[in-house]
Amino acid sequence: METLHQILSLHFLLRNSVYTSVLIGLACPLVGVFLVLRRLVFMGVALPQISSTGVALALCLPMWLGLQVTPQSEHALAFAGSTIFSVAAILILAFLERRGRGLAEGRLGMAYVVAMAISILLLSKNRYAEIGWLDLLKGEIITISDFDLALTAAILAVVLVIFGLFRKELLLVSYDRALAITLGRNVILWDALLYLLIGLMVSMAVLSVGPLIAFGFLLIPALTAHMFAYNMRQLTIFACVLGGIAAFAGFWMAYQWDFPVGPTDVALLGLIYGIAFIVRKVVSMTEAII
């Protein structure tokens, strides 16, 4: 309990890391719900890593051009690179999947492994970025500034508000595309908006907590909630609440036992999914017997 009291204290040294982790834990599952709904689960694996490649490339540009940048400018560059790569990747991959060209899983797997390799190679040659950004890519959340926390909260708030305002339209084109076309909805427009929001959420998550945690919170809470939810409202609420609780509990465990936060969060989510899967199977067997 002493550790919990320290984490909840307003004077806790890593309080911004706690707040950011919980924000990401609450917000990422909302995007994950749409990825699960549209059967784009494998895209949730590749997108965070592709986004990190955008971060790595953006951080290397000042070094290649011989420019000096402030921490705020560096963050802005990283966010721009992350967003551009995320949005471009999801648009290209979604377009190819809609056209049915090639093996979708193969493309996503290749994109993931190539993006990871390029990210590490770029950052390993950047003497300024290597210190902090390689740790971030491995899921080690050490320090997050007030500026980073405020920027993360602001962007996530904008994304959540847009999701709230256009929830029905985004659900319609995701759940029943044919019906949306029949009702005269501009499917391409709503698809583009959804992909833009997913790209922004992924890029902000990667920039704040790294691709490992972003991937974990994008998919595992949504997949876990999907086993018990009976409608979209329940699925969304269950996934977001689970993500927020797991983010805080994971940080608590990592701080208590001196583990890296990212792997701890993802391992905890995996454990919760395993328990939920067993419970669901037991409940299904019980219902079948009755």
Q: Are 206 and 139 in contact (CB under 8 A)?
A: no
Cβ–Cβ under 8 Å, residues 186 and 169 = no
Task: Show the low-confidence residues of the chain (pLDDT under 70).
Answer: 1, 69-72, 96-107, 123, 125-143, 290
Question: At residue 272, what is the residue type?
Answer: I
Closest CA to 24 of 243, 249, 267: 243
Distances (CA, A) of 218 to 41, 53, 205, 266, 273: 9, 18, 10, 11, 13
The span from the CA of 114 to the CA of 99, in Å, is: 23
Q: How far apart are CA 191 and CA 90, in angstroms?
A: 11
Provide the pLDDT for residue 200: 83
Are residues 111 and 93 in contact, defined by beta-carbon separation less than 8 angstroms?
yes
Gap between the terminal Cα atoms of the chain: 43
Which burial class, exposed, middle or buried, applies to 285 when counting CB atoms under 10 A from its CB (0-12, 13-18, 19+)? exposed
How far apart, in Å, are the Cα atoms of 102 and each of 30, 92, 95? 29, 13, 12
Single pTM value for the model: 0.81
Confidence at residue 75, expressed as pLDDT on a 0 to 100 scale: 72
CA distance 180 to 174: 9
Q: Write down all domains in the chain, each with its CATH number in brackets.
A: 2-289 (1.10.3470.10)
Q: What pLDDT is stored for residue 145 in this prediction? A: 74
Per-residue pLDDT tens digits for 118-157: 877 776 766 555 555 655 555 556 667 777 788 888 888 8
How far apart are alpha carbons 93 and 97 in whole angstroms?
A: 6
Q: What is the pLDDT of residue 129?
A: 53
**Structural Rg of the chain based on CA atoms:** 19
Sequence-ordered list of residues with C-beta below 8 angstroms from that of 195, at least 6 positions apart, any chain: 87, 90, 91, 94
* pLDDT for the residue 249: 92
Other Cβ atoms within 10 Å of 213 Cβ, number:
30
In the chain, the amino acid numbered 122 is L
